[in-house]
Amino acid sequence: MDASFSDTTLIFTFDGDLISTNVVPVRAELIELLKNHPSATALVANFTRVGQVDSQGLNLLIGLYREAHLRKIPFRIENASASVRRLFGLLNLNERFGISAAA
């Protein structure tokens, strides 16, 4: 996962699909990023390289959304593929996650 801190926004780009086989290490990286950037005023997940999200990946994203909510900062997903937007649309999560389409 790549991460950058632009102004006060923490932006992280996932390296691939968010599925059960990689959620544990991704979660550990996210926890470390959040610890290292307590002054972040927004969280952005760049989904440029994400094609699939399974139930474990969804659980990870919900946890990230909750963490942002606890910090009282916005969380959004950018550059989501059509299949990811469709999944979150079926779950009525597009608005909650501020999902935007792939560029």
Q: Is the pLDDT of residue 100 over 80?
A: no
What's residue 23's pLDDT? 95
What's residue 6's pLDDT? 87
2-90: which CATH architecture?
Answer: 2-Layer Sandwich (3.30)
Confidence of residue 61 (pLDDT cuts 50, 70, 90): very high
Q: Where are the domains of the chain?
A: 2-90
Residues 6 or more apart whose CB falls under 8 angstroms from that of 98 comprise 74, 75, 76, 77
Question: What is this structure's pTM?
Answer: 0.89
Find the radius of gyration of the CA atoms of the chain: 12
Residues 6 or more apart whose CB falls under 8 angstroms from that of 60 comprise 18, 23, 26, 27, 30
Q: Which residues pair with 5 in a beta bridge?
A: 10
